[in-house]
Amino acid sequence: MSNLETSIATTGHEAPATKGGSVAGYIDDRLASSNFTKRLLDKVFPDHWSFMLGEIALYSFIILLLSGTYLTLWFNPSMTEVIYNGSYTPLKGIKMSEAYSSTLHISFDVRGGLLMRQIHHWAALFFVAAVSVHLLRVFFTGAFRKPREINWVIGTLLLVLAILEGFAGYSLPDDLLSGTGLRIAEGIVQAIPLLGTYVAMFLFGGEFPGTDFIPRLYSIHILLIPGILLGLVTVHLIMVFYQKHTQFPGPGRTESNVVGFRLFPIYMAKAGGFFFVVFGITTLIAALVTINPVWLYGPYTPSQVTAGSQPDWYIGWLDGAVRLTPNWETNILGHTISWNLLIPALVIPGIMFTALGLYPWIEAWATGDKREHHLLDRPRNVPTRTGLGVMSLVFYMILVISGGNDIIAVAFNLSINQITWTLRILLFVLPPLSFVLTKRACLGLQRRDNDKLLHGYETGQILRLPSGEFLEIHEPITDAEKAVILAKQDFAPLALESGEDANGVRNPKAAKSAARARLSAWFYSDTIPVPTDEELQHAAEHAAHELHEAQAQAKQIEGSSH
């Protein structure tokens, strides 16, 4: 090696000792990335099973990108009619679109094609499910609070897009079931006041079904929505990373630290391994459990339908809402307003997703809480929020069940009319009821927590005193348990701004303040205070005393019996 080469190779830095070091050096020479990389490798994430829900969503999304790319190699998004001549004999010689025929080709003539189709479909079902359950976790633990409101909104957008993307993919094979779904979607679009028929004509290139829609939907499904999803997922993750993950209360956990394990090597192995677990399980399910057997449904034709038509689960609530809404329609001045479609398909989803997206600000307005939160709430400690969450979930579940009212009718041999009416009533009765019950249950749990703090837990050891009295021995709970229970914070409702100031001038903000104070009082109604340090100390002394007394008595009994 000449002197010149040596001097170039070592410019500025010592030659690294390891291979990894030389790679890092090569990159750092170009990006000055060492500082970032170190922080990345050392970054600590807290550990909890519920933090894996978002991971499942992310991994399902990656599986969807991989399997979807594979499918595009064979799928032909065309509505041109062809005569099927593949190896699935029951449909041989039947007229169908190229989209459907290429789906059959993937399913029967491409080795591994059916596997990839089923991986793609199962992963889509898991994706929306994981996003939804992840959302519930974030909601019930208050992880959406400041400073994470923006990420909550991104998450809400991701959910909406995931549902749309799922529906688009479900519609592409152009089988009888998916075509029926599109027909329903087109009927709903037609119901939009003023613009409905125009939007429908433009979307479908004329009347339904036309020949333009599948190719158009294809580019939306494989490019537009996944592109937006990918961008939003990236921002979502960067924000989680930058703001650091929230953690559950426990010993050593505070608002200003993160307790857990480092990214490298623990989460590299655990989270990286978990991707393979999710992928592996999805693949095994796809190998063994048939999903969306389009060959059984036949090609789409607008004059046929299968009884018991069901959409994928995440569309079920919309379908259920459409089924439950009574047949309201208004005709004024030669124009038709189809309330029977506008309410379930546009108004209800609009309200639901707007309320969902805005919830962090609604709650902050009610609580007046402007502080940062990195310690998660236990759901019981915020009864009103938990009640609202369960209420919304019950509302949603009734809609999902309504989407299967015909299946219920057939399975239990009941009248479809009675089921529909029952569900209509339950939709308004059960959610408020579940709010009240959930809130009561939360308050009950809080009281039990306070009991545990003040009186310890019941050991199950019963002592009979000479006087005949029975006594159960209570033992104090562990510090770990105390740390969890004592993480609850007391809040007071916002005070009402006075209607007049000191000089008797009317305060213009008073009305708004009164509304806010009422909301705040409602949000914090029935608060159960955390025991104060004095109460805890007093209780500890009392418990020690009681235990001592009991032990003394026990000794006495032992002594006298000998």
Provide the 3-class DSSP secondary structure of residue 32: coil
Provide the 3-class DSSP secondary structure of residue 338: coil
CA distance 402 to 396: 10
Nearer to another protein (CB atom), residue 178 or residue 405: 405
Residue 110 CB, nearest approach to another protein (Å): 8
Kindly state whether residue 279 participates in binding another protein, applying the rule CB under 8 A. yes
CA distance 169 to 162: 10
Which one of 175, 186, 312, 449 is in contact with another protein (CB under 8 A)?
186
Residue 513 CB, nearest approach to another protein (Å): 26
CA distance 427 to 143: 28
Which one of 480, 511, 544, 552 is in contact with another protein (CB under 8 A)?
480
Contacts (CB under 8 A) with another protein, residues 293-322: 300-309, 319, 322
Q: Which long-range contacts (CB under 8 A, 24 or more apart) does 204-213 make?
A: 208/182, 208/183, 208/302, 209/79, 209/179, 209/182, 209/183, 209/300, 209/302, 210/79, 211/79, 211/80, 212/79, 213/79, 213/182
196, amino acid identity:
G
Kindly state whether residue 255 participates in binding another protein, applying the rule CB under 8 A. yes
Which one of 29, 329, 472, 549 is in contact with another protein (CB under 8 A)?
329
Nearer to another protein (CB atom), residue 21 or residue 302: 302
The closest alpha carbon to 346, from 136, 172, 195, belongs to 195
Nearer to another protein (CB atom), residue 479 or residue 541: 479
Which one of 203, 225, 376, 423 is in contact with another protein (CB under 8 A)?
203
Residue 247 CB, nearest approach to another protein (Å): 10
Stretch binding another protein (CB under 8 A), from 98-106, 122-130, 194-202, 545-553: 194-202
Which one of 284, 433, 436, 544 is in contact with another protein (CB under 8 A)?
284
Which one of 66, 153, 220, 337 is in contact with another protein (CB under 8 A)?
337
Residue 450 CB, nearest approach to another protein (Å): 14
Which one of 54, 68, 77, 260 is in contact with another protein (CB under 8 A)?
260
* Cβ proximity of 166 and 128 under 8 Å: yes
Kindly state whether residue 50 participates in binding another protein, applying the rule CB under 8 A. no
Q: Is the peptide bond before 173 cis (omega within 30 degrees of 0)?
A: no
Residues 6+ apart with CB under 8 A from 529: 490
Residue 181 CB, nearest approach to another protein (Å): 9
Contacts (CB under 8 A) with another protein, residues 20-49: 42-44, 47
Provide the 3-class DSSP secondary structure of residue 207: coil
Kindly state whether residue 238 participates in binding another protein, applying the rule CB under 8 A. no
Which one of 336, 461, 525, 551 is in contact with another protein (CB under 8 A)?
336
Provide the 3-class DSSP secondary structure of residue 337: strand
Contacts (CB under 8 A) with another protein, residues 99-128: 108-109, 111-112, 114-115, 118
Kindly state whether residue 399 participates in binding another protein, applying the rule CB under 8 A. no
Kindly state whether residue 483 participates in binding another protein, applying the rule CB under 8 A. yes
Exposure string of 134-169, with b = 16+ CB inside 10 Å and e = fewer, is bbebbbbbbbbbeebbebbbbbbbbbebbbebbbbb
CA distance 540 to 477: 11
Q: Which long-range contacts (CB under 8 A, 24 or more apart) does 327-335 make?
A: 335/193
Which one of 21, 326, 432, 499 is in contact with another protein (CB under 8 A)?
326
Which one of 100, 126, 208, 295 is in contact with another protein (CB under 8 A)?
208
CA distance 210 to 183: 11
The residue count for binding another protein (CB under 8 A) is 126
CA distance 215 to 204: 10
Kindly state whether residue 239 participates in binding another protein, applying the rule CB under 8 A. no
Kindly state whether residue 56 participates in binding another protein, applying the rule CB under 8 A. no
Residue 325 CB, nearest approach to another protein (Å): 5
Which one of 8, 17, 32, 289 is in contact with another protein (CB under 8 A)?
289
Stretch binding another protein (CB under 8 A), from 123-131, 159-167, 230-238, 277-285: 277-285
The alpha carbon of residue 374 and the mean position of all alpha carbons in its chain are separated, in whole angstroms, by 19
212, amino acid identity:
D
Kindly state whether residue 254 participates in binding another protein, applying the rule CB under 8 A. yes
Using only C-alpha atoms, the chain has a radius of gyration, in whole angstroms, of 31
Q: What are the Cα distances from residue 229, in Å, to 31, 163, 196, 271, 507?
A: 28, 11, 27, 21, 47
3-class DSSP string for 366-432: HHCCCCCCCECCCHHHCHHHHHHHHHHHHHHHHHHHHCCHHHHHHHHCCCHHHHHHHHHHHHHHHHH
Which one of 64, 278, 388, 528 is in contact with another protein (CB under 8 A)?
278
Which one of 76, 292, 392, 405 is in contact with another protein (CB under 8 A)?
405
Which one of 12, 334, 466, 559 is in contact with another protein (CB under 8 A)?
334
Stretch binding another protein (CB under 8 A), from 188-196, 425-433, 460-468, 521-529: 188-196
Residue 345 CB, nearest approach to another protein (Å): 9
Stretch binding another protein (CB under 8 A), from 6-14, 27-35, 67-75, 241-249: 241-249
Contacts (CB under 8 A) with another protein, residues 372-391: 372, 374-375
Exposure string of 296-314, with b = 16+ CB inside 10 Å and e = fewer, is ebbbbeeeeeeeeeebbeb
Contacts (CB under 8 A) with another protein, residues 413-452: 416-417, 420
Nearer to another protein (CB atom), residue 195 or residue 544: 195
Residues 6+ apart with CB under 8 A from 241: 43
* Cβ proximity of 47 and 261 under 8 Å: yes
CA distance 401 to 101: 33
